[in-house]
Structure 1
Amino acid sequence: MSTILHALPDEAADAGPPALRLPFDVAEIDHRPLSTARMTLRPLASSDADDVWEYQRLPEVLRFIPWPEREHDEAIEHTTTRAGMRRLVADGDAIFLAMVFEGRVIGDVMLRVSNVMHACLEIGWVANPAFHGRGLATEAADAALDVAFGRLAAHRVVAHLDARNTASANLCERLGMRREALLLDDEFNDGEWQDTASYGMLRREWRTLRSGRPA
């Protein structure tokens, strides 16, 4: 189980009104990285660029994420840009947490403010395929949900993914998220229209799931 920052919102808060605990700075996680059963999650750093490049350049990763193909120097710049996104204040702000396993970064998890007014956050993830099949991405995303609902007091967390990405769809379901929509021809990437699958979870659902986990 991951370590949650600060106290959990109580059940009375689930009924509203929405009240995201912002601003949030990832310096909190710098000082106290999240520990899971097998990994550490900490803020993504520009020094992680080479590890990120190992999965950012792979066709099987780019197939489902709307990233362009980048040269190594461009990829370093991209990782540096994402690492510099350290505060959640307003709609569209995002932070990225590096998944550190056996001394290397094997993926990262995003939390983005979708709608402050309605206390909605978006979660996303990407992982090195060399480490697929071990449940590590699920472990990391589960820890990020604890931050979203526990520290940030989100009312709702959503995930939007390429509908062909069955691995991420299965991950959503393992987390306890429900499929809420299939948006046909939602985005035009790689020369074709692509469908988007949307998943969601409410704080009261997360609370119920978490109550069944060992302390």
Structure 2
Amino acid sequence: MIQTERLVLVPFQVKHLDDIYEILSNDETCQFLPHDPWTETNKDENFKKRLIEFNLNSGEKCHLAVMLNDKLIGDVVAWYTDMKDTVEIGYVFNKAFSNKGYATEAVEAFKQFLFKEYDLHRIQTMLDANNLSSANLCERIGMRKEGHFIKDYWNKGKWTDTLMYGLLASELK
């Protein structure tokens, strides 16, 4: 469990299904994600992964539910890359809770937790260059833009640009 001033980040529980479905079934929210919006048909299968992926030591992804009181408002995730002591992070948040600083608060706390708990060398993220909100979030938590790859990723029927952000443990404040 990770506690911030207003939020708690916890492993997913069965009771979180409806809240995460609300987020990941939204077309606008999923436009920059590598997968299509969840549907009634695939939501249970997709959700099962979140219930078992909560510890990087297991070699799997680490998904945590971002809770505001009793409402799940986001999902943060990390997974090891092929490079030693390096993880990539991702995140998605409910649009109804935008512009209140929750995403920044949650991802900053997750970043600090990952560096401390797993003794990492580096955290990085790759995102669609059109996702300005995500790029701004990376910069707010101290990540540096390290690359802009032109039409390098095929997603949802078109080539998209990718931005890469990174942060070293030695750069933590």
Equivalent pair of 1:99/1:106 in contact (CA under 8 Å): yes
Counterpart in the other structure of 2:23 = 55
Aligned residues: 173
Relative contact order, higher structure (CA 8 A, sep 6+): 1
Counterpart in the other structure of 2:113 = 147
Equivalent pair of 1:188/1:194 in contact (CA under 8 Å): yes
User: When the two structures are superposed, what TM-score results if normalisation uses the length of structure 2?
Assistant: 0.94
Matched, 1:102 2:69: yes
Counterpart in the other structure of 1:22 = none
Q: Which amino acid aligns with 1:134?
A: K
Counterpart in the other structure of 1:13 = none
User: For the residues of structure 2 that align with 1:205 and 1:104, how far apart are their CA atoms?
Assistant: 33
5+ residue gaps, structure 2, are none
Q: CA deviation at 1:90?
A: 7.1
Matched, 1:124 2:90: yes
User: For the residues of structure 2 that align with 1:144 and 1:90, how far apart are their CA atoms?
Assistant: 18
Give aligned-pair identity as a percent: 35
Q: CA deviation at 1:80?
A: 1.6
User: For the residues of structure 1 that align with 2:115 and 2:37, how far apart are their CA atoms?
Assistant: 34
Which has the higher mean CA deviation after the structures are superposed, 160-169 or 78-87?
A: 78-87
Matched, 1:77 2:45: yes
User: For the residues of structure 1 that align with 2:72 and 2:137, how far apart are their CA atoms?
Assistant: 19
Q: Secondary structure at the match of 2:170?
A: helix
Equivalent pair of 2:115/2:121 in contact (CA under 8 Å): yes
Q: Secondary structure at the match of 1:72?
A: coil
Q: CA deviation at 1:122?
A: 0.9
Equivalent pair of 2:8/2:68 in contact (CA under 8 Å): yes
Q: What per-residue deviation string (whole Å, max 9, x for no partner) do you get for residues 50-109 of structure 1?
A: 000111111111101011233224112211222212332476x21101000021101110
Q: CA deviation at 1:149?
A: 0.8
Q: What per-residue deviation string (whole Å, max 9, x for no partner) do you get for residues 108-161 of structure 1?
A: 10011113x521011110000000101101111111111211111100000111
Among 168, 174, 193, which residue is 2:134 paired with? 168
5+ residue gaps, structure 1, are 1-32, 210-215
User: For the residues of structure 2 that align with 1:46 and 1:186, how far apart are their CA atoms?
Assistant: 37
User: For the residues of structure 2 that align with 1:157 and 1:164, how far apart are their CA atoms?
Assistant: 21
Q: 5 Å matches for 1:1-215?
A: 33-89=1-57, 93-115=60-82, 118-206=84-172, 209=173
Could you say which structure has the larger radius of gyration?
1
User: For the residues of structure 2 that align with 1:176 and 1:186, how far apart are their CA atoms?
Assistant: 25
User: For the residues of structure 2 that align with 1:193 and 1:100, how far apart are their CA atoms?
Assistant: 34
Cα-Cα RMSD: 1.5
